[in-house]
Amino acid sequence: MGKDTVRGREAVRRLEEVVRAASRVAQDPGLRERYAQLPRLPLRILCCPLDKGINHGNILRIAECFRVEKVVYAPVSSEKEKDLSGGFAAIKWQPFEWKPTVEAIEEAKAEGYRIYGLTLSPDCVPIQRVEWQFPCALVVGRELEGLDPEAEALCDEKVAIPLFGMVESLNVAVATGIAVSRIADAYRLRDPSFVPARSAQQRLLERDP
């Protein structure tokens, strides 16, 4: 398949995504205007250098889906590595920046955030048993190597997602999505007023078990 064909398909996919997003916003009049004032989940996602550029965009999309406060990416060596294509629809809504991970962790600590490292270290806690404290930051890293040692040493608590198969690790974006979902659930128990932006998602949460 030629590069022009691939680029053409990607352009069509993005256009279709924009059209779908516009259609959904039409179902919630005024949402675009009031969205910036909605409270955000008091969570920062702090990314160590990632081994696949596309994970930047995937994590951005996950963060926006849960209205995360901010995503901080470790700087990359080239613009090509800043691949946010997986989060194309989230770019205009989700705050993010590029900053060295250790600096981002130290900044969060100084502001009173508890730092959780998503890792497979021997001394980590299963994610099901974590008692999340807020505000907090979640540090994520490479799929096989995990967190940078210096960043991991600064974490207040290390957590892991137990795996039941032969594969030793999850894709970093997938793991981030699982963790952020649990964090959002924990926060809603403390603050039930933290609700989805869209009315359809609000109704979903209101359904009886």
Classify residue 54: in a domain, yes or no.
yes
Per the structure, the complete domain to which residue 199 belongs is given by 40-206
Residue appearing with tokens 């994590």: 59
C-alpha closest to that of 85 among 131, 52, 116? 52
Query: Model confidence over 125-159: pLDDT tens digits?
Result: 999 999 999 999 999 999 878 899 999 999 999 99
135 prior amide bond cis, ω within 30 = yes
Mean pLDDT check: name the lowest of 10-14, 35-39, 94-98: 10-14
Residue 19 has pLDDT above 50, yes or no: no
Mean pLDDT, all residues of the chain: 88
Closest by Cα among 209, 147, 137 to 179: 137
Domain annotation covers residue 35 = no
Tell me how long the chain is. 209
The reported pLDDT for the residue numbered 174 is 96
pLDDT for 186 beyond 70: yes
Would residue 121 count as lying in a domain? Answer: yes
Element (H, E) at 69: strand 68-73
Would 34 be classed as within a structural domain? no
CA-based max dimension of the chain: 52
Res 109 pLDDT > 70: yes
Q: What are the backbone angles phi and psi of residue 164, rounded to the nearest 5°?
A: -110, 0
Q: Are 99 and 125 in contact (CB under 8 A)?
A: no
Return the closest-CA partner of residue 53 out of 17, 77, 72, 18.
Answer: 77
State the average pLDDT over residues 37-52.
Answer: 94
pTM over 0.75: yes
Would 89 be classed as within a structural domain?
yes
State the number of CA atoms in the 13 A half-sphere of 141 facing the CB: 23
Identify whether 76 is part of a domain: yes
The pLDDT of 59-74, averaged and rounded, is 97
CATH at residue 44? 3.40.1280.10
Chain segment 77-88, per-residue pLDDT in tens: 877 778 888 888
Q: Is residue 10 part of a domain?
A: no
CB–CB of 175/128 below 8 Å? no
The percent of residues in the chain predicted with pLDDT above 70, rounded, is 86
22 has pLDDT over 70: no
Q: What is the pLDDT of residue 88?
A: 86
Q: How many domains does the chain have?
A: 1
Above 80 in pLDDT, residue 4? no
- Which residues have a Cβ under 8 Å from the Cβ of 64 and sit 6 or more positions away? 87, 89, 90, 93, 94
pLDDT band for position 5 (cuts 50, 70, 90) = low
Is residue 32 included in any domain, yes or no? Answer: no
